[in-house]
Structure 1
């Protein structure tokens, strides 16, 4: 039974990320075009709602760095329930500011889920128990994206509106939340918050550079992650790939983390982080330079193949460099990531409203990812 406990924790973490991030955070992307058409939102207003979600994510990450009044498992359960309620709540709103407030609350809860679940899962890896199974754990975001893409396509195919899409996806989050709580609740605390400090091979090396690179990654990936489906719907010649593109993102995300972890084992975590940023930069650039079905699918595939890999590699690199309990540094990483996410969607929406398309915003996002790669290489050199 004890040998199954690590797997139970990883599966619980997968379900948690699928509910709070894969669906709760990213389902906004495929639902967004229908909302914009029905409610008359501009790209700037849509970006404002997205940025509100990321502002909540930032605040949640900062709050998660403080000592917790509840156990980590109970905190995770509370935040999963809160995230699910905000997903369901979007179905009943029409006001821009009400939606922004709801997405802010959802972002706050999802950051706690990311920080606490990562702390629970990754610290077991540091204890040498083989418990983290990070490929399985981080695949949760891709699983949630795939589920949401399929659900949205089914609802749209049935002729139902965007409110039904939020409702159906929220109900699936209820099931995933129950699964996560059951699986993680069954795992013993293993010393709770006072387990032995994690030995890091490069304690302190290049942390500042890593933080800056991770923030730029947050800025660079989020433009495509927020507006990819809207970009496709705006061009009548691309409509055929609209139901497929977000599904491609999710499928590639599901299988990306093990690939990048193998790359990290060969090249080192930070060099793999930098290489993944360069690959993602190529995908973001493709969304701007290749206004064809093949270009959009390439952008979707490269986004899915990298963004969770980069997330995992960044957090693993931070864990390697943490002195003692990694959760404060994981929270700081999540916070700087959140800063980039706040800036990205709103500024991209405003650029769209001024220029009429997302090419300039996507070009800037690709540049941010190239800079993130440079900082990743620099952090690796500093920590050698």
Structure 2
């Protein structure tokens, strides 16, 4: 990601990662369609895994060839000076990003099973995942545009708010329209949160964006490791995902509060 960000800056493009993360949405769409086609032919999970591995290997070839080389060869040195935030700003941003990672992990891990457990929707879990991908693909570019007008923090507050609504909706109602809205809201925000945070973090250190992006990714990754544990325990105890979704939405809400705190803190 840092290589992509530097390449964009060096080639007179906007320092935004929306175009990069749009690929994640496309991959969700493609894999969902592949899985659905294999389910139609009664393929077992081992065959599905092999097919997905082959697809990943094929796509990796052009991705590897087109990826900007990390070496300095052919690159223009970024002359924009670093604009590091204060320690308080970085701490609040890390905590907010951790909360987003928690919300992402719960919904992305269990969204298919949540749909499969709804009476009348059994067998539709892969379609829900497809809707997530369809919403995610253009979302990162749209949120880039929003952030240009409002600033990163205000855009993130809006994205976090919609994300927590998408997370909590299936716990409130398990009807088909609500599930559809939930998947679209989730898909339209979770990758956007990642894109906006990492773009902002990278812009603090234009010549070495990995310095800040890596720290943020660590916070997000820790949340992804932690989140499934309490969620699984709550599922086992209550027999459904409702309490896990409520907890996940509440944690994202806490992340939103941290973001509101950033509006009152000077950057430096």
| TM > 0.5 | yes
Give the Cα separation in 2 of the matches to 1:235 and 1:119.
Answer: 41
Q: Give the match for residue 361 of structure 1.
A: 244
- Picking from 169, 172, 175, the partner of 2:58 is 175
Q: Give the match for residue 140 of structure 1.
A: 23
1:203 and 2:84 correspond: yes
Give the Cα separation in 2 of the matches to 1:132 and 1:150.
Answer: 32
Count of aligned residue pairs for this structure pair: 265
- Picking from 226, 229, 238, the partner of 2:112 is 229
1:248 and 2:131 correspond: yes
1:135 shift after superposition:
2.7
Give the Cα separation in 2 of the matches to 1:336 and 1:229.
Answer: 25
Give the Cα separation in 1 of the matches to 2:10 and 2:122.
Answer: 49
Give the Cα separation in 2 of the matches to 1:327 and 1:264.
Answer: 21
| CA separation of 1:240 and 1:295: change in aligned 2, threshold 3 A | farther
- Picking from 259, 268, 273, the partner of 2:156 is 273
Give the Cα separation in 1 of the matches to 2:74 and 2:205.
Answer: 18
1:235 shift after superposition:
2.4
CA contact (8 A) 1:253 1:304 kept: yes
Higher RCO (CA-CA < 8 Å; seq separation 6+): 2
Give the Cα separation in 2 of the matches to 1:350 and 1:128.
Answer: 49
Give the Cα separation in 2 of the matches to 1:268 and 1:227.
Answer: 32
Give the Cα separation in 1 of the matches to 2:81 and 2:242.
Answer: 44
| CA separation of 1:198 and 1:273: change in aligned 2, threshold 3 A | farther
CA contact (8 A) 1:204 1:322 kept: no
1:184 and 2:67 correspond: yes
1:367 shift after superposition:
0.9
Q: TM-score, normalised by structure 2?
A: 0.91
Q: TM-score, normalised by structure 1?
A: 0.65
1:320 shift after superposition:
2.6
Give the Cα separation in 2 of the matches to 1:332 and 1:353.
Answer: 33
- Higher share in helix: 1
CA contact (8 A) 2:201 2:212 kept: yes
**Unmatched tracts of structure 1, length 5 or more:** 1-117
**Unmatched tracts of structure 2, length 5 or more:** none
